[in-house]
Amino acid sequence: MQRRHRKTHAYMWKVLAIFLPAMLIAALAIRQHGPTEKSAVQLEKPAAAPEAPAAAAGE
C-alpha cells in the first residue's frame, strides 16, 4: 500500500475506533425500558353526575 493510503487508513481507523464504540454505547444507553412506576394513575375522579331533577312541581 502506498504511504498516502496507509496514512489515510490510519487516520480513518483512529476516528472510527472512537466513533463506532461510542455510537453503540450511546444507542444502548438511550434504549428505553419498561417504566418503574405504575403505567396508569388516576389523578382525578370523574365529576359526580348531577342529581336527578326534583319531582314534578306540585308534589
Partner 1 sequence: MAGRMPDPGFFVGYLNSVPRPLAIFLVVGAAVLVGSMAGLAFALGTNVNDPGDGTFARKLGKQEMSGILVENPYPILRVRPDAKNPEARTVMLTVPGKRSVKRRGRKLFDQLVDVKGFMFQRGDIDMLQVQGKNSLKAVEVAEGETPPEFTPAPAESLGRWRLIGEICDSKCHLGAMRPGDGLAHKACANLCISSGAPPIFVTAEEGAVEGETFLLMANEDGGPLPDHFGDYVAVLVQLEGEVERLDDLLVFKVDIDATKVF
Partner 2 sequence: MSVRYAPVGWNRNKIIYDVVVLAAAVAYILLFIKIAPSFQDVTKPTSGAILRAQAFGTCAFLMLTFILCIGPLARLDQRFLPLLYNRRHFGVITCAIAFTHATHVVSIYYSFSPLNKYVAVLASNTSYDRFLGFPFETFGIFALFLLLVLAATSHDFWLRFLTPPIWKAIHLSVYVAYAAIVCHVALGSLQAKQSPLLAVIVGLSVVAVTGLHLVAGRIERQKDRDTAESADEAPWVVAGHVDSVPDGRGIVVPLEGGERVAVFRYGDKLSALANVCAHQNGPLGEGRIMDGCVTCPWHGFQYRPEDGCSPPPFTEKVATYRLKLDGRRILLDPRANEPGTYVEPVRVTEA
Residues that bind partner 1 (CB under 8 A): 32, 34-35, 37-47
Identify the residue whose cell numbers are 461510542: 22
Q: Which residues bind partner 2 (CB under 8 A)?
A: 1-10, 12-13, 16-17, 19-21, 23-24, 26-28, 30-32
To partner 2, the closest distance from the beta carbon of 19 in angstroms equals 7
Cβ contacts of residue 54 below 8 Å, gap of 6+?
A: none
Taking CB within 5 to 8 Å according to partner kind, which of partner 1, partner 2, none is near residue 40?
A: partner 1
Give me 28's grid cell.
444502548
| Amino acid identity, position 37 | E
Q: What angle do CA 46, 49, 54 make, to 5 degrees?
A: 165
Taking CB within 5 to 8 Å according to partner kind, which of partner 2, partner 1, none is near residue 53?
A: none
